[in-house]
Amino acid sequence: MSGATGAAAPVPKVAIGLLLACGVLVAAMAMGLRQTFGLFLAPMTAARDWGAADYSFAIALQVLINGVTQPLWGQLADRIGGRRVIMLGAALQAAGVLGMALTENLLVFTAFAGLVVGAAVSAAGMPVIMASLTRLLPERLRGRATGLGTAGSSFGQFLVVPLAHLAISGFGWQVALFIVAASALVMIPLALPLNDAPAPPAAGAVAEETARQALRRAFATPSFWFLFFGFYVCGLHVSFMGIHLPGFVASCHLPAAVGAGALSLIGLFNIVGSLTAGEISGRWSRRGLLVFIYAARGVVIAGFLLVEKTTASVLVFSAVMGLLWLSTVPPTVALCARNFGTRWLATIFGIVFLGHQIGGFTGAWLGGLIFDRTGSYDLMWSLCIAAAAFAALVHLPVADGPPKPVAVPA
């Protein structure tokens, strides 16, 4: 028998604070830097004489590559440790952003922005970081760690995006991209404490579950697919509102500043929601928490559609939705660890995260398609409510008991 939890060696108490701080800062840098690319659309397309669709396609490709490569980076992190993968991702991101700044050819730009940066932000992304923290910390601190990491990613977006805007305004878009590339390298020293590389098996030790066995077990477990499709809905919600909420606000004849303020409030309140979800994940039913979050999303969206669209109603909706935004991450990570162990957690959560990214692509694309066809977002909002109900229901049967040992075939 092999322990399903695959617990790493205990971290000394004096190192836990440093470990959490570095994990949160890496998550903040990773999310903050990747959220800056929208700021470069207008100045770059004007300077290069490209269309907005040309630039947008490269960034959309980045999102897809991020999702597709996540399980691959996850398995590498499970084999050699998250620290090395994050460092490699940081270096790759710096190279990709540098290529974006220097090339004048649209096809080469798309390769750097879509393929290279897409793979890089996956390597130095949330699943690898969360898996490393989960393996290195005792179970009682894992929910708090994932909550802090998720909150840190929102704080990074809240802090880094305005700084990038200032850099573009003060130095121009090309120098700003050089600064983004250099900033990515800061993640390399920050990743040093995330040393979760598996120790070599001791002589005579019981055989350990392989990655293939772990994946076969996960794919044969209904709970895995419930989590996958639930996270798909999370991605659909987040991507649709993150991209189309300002457009919806404009269609309601409200000032553009209200749309920008709405996104800022979502990011700010997501910090509170993620921290709270992380704490609750260590004390309460993770399954019940996910059911509540998705059901609450549906109720909040339905209520928003029924009220008059004013600056106040939009901002209140954004604040409440921010509490529910990425609060799904800590309980989802915890359920993956409880059901499938921590030995191959980055791989398994990486595949669940792929569901999130597929949902994100669906939400971004479908929202625009519905608006183009109908001239309104009403149908998309209705689909978001139905998707929230589906996600709440699909999490009800997820297994949420204590971790069980895994029998490994001889």
Could you give the domains of the chain? Answer: 11-197 (1.20.1250.20), 209-398 (1.20.1250.20)
Strand partners, 2: 406
Neighbours of 206 (CB within 10 A): 11
pLDDT tens, residue by residue, 319-338: 999 999 989 988 998 899 88
Residue count (the chain): 410
Contact 293, 327 (CB under 8 A): yes
Query: What gap in Å lies between CA 387 and CA 236, rounded to an integer?
Result: 9
Per-residue pLDDT averaged across 26-37, rounded?
Answer: 85
**Mean pLDDT, residues 185-189 taken together:** 95
Tell me the pLDDT tens digit for each residue of 130-181.
888 888 888 777 778 888 887 888 788 778 877 888 898 899 999 999 999 9
Distance of alpha carbon 144 from alpha carbon 283, whole angstroms? 10
Q: Which residues contact 167 (CB under 8 A, 6 or more apart)?
A: 175, 176, 179
Q: For every residue of 304-346, which 3-state class applies, written as one string?
A: HHHCCCCHHHHHHHHHHHHHCCCCCHHHHHHHHHHHHCCCCHH
Give 336-376 pLDDT, tens digit per residue.
Answer: 988 998 888 888 988 998 899 889 888 878 888 888 888 88
Q: Mean per-residue pLDDT for 207-234?
A: 90
Neighbours of 221 (CB within 10 A): 15
Cα separation values, 265 from 140, 269, 318, 323, 332, Å: 30, 6, 6, 10, 24
Residue 25: how many CB atoms within 10 A of its CB?
18
Amino acid (one-letter) located at 313? S
SS3 readout for 170-202: HHCHHHHHHHHHHHHCCHHHHCCCCCCCCCCCC
**Span 200-219, pLDDT tens digits:** 555 544 557 888 888 999 99
Q: Three-state DSSP class for 102?
A: helix
Predicted TM-score (pTM) of this structure:
0.76
Token match 């149908």: residue? 379
**Residues 6+ away with beta carbon under 8 Å from 46:** none
| Residue 308 reports pLDDT greater than 90 | yes
CA 125 – CA 34 distance, rounded (Å): 10
pLDDT digits (tens, 9 = 90+) for 45-78: 889 998 877 887 787 788 788 888 988 898 898 8
**319 neighbors 265 (Cβ within 8 angstroms):** yes
Q: How far apart are CA 310 and CA 315, in angstroms?
A: 9
Distance CA 85, CA 120 (A): 10
139 against 27, higher pLDDT:
27
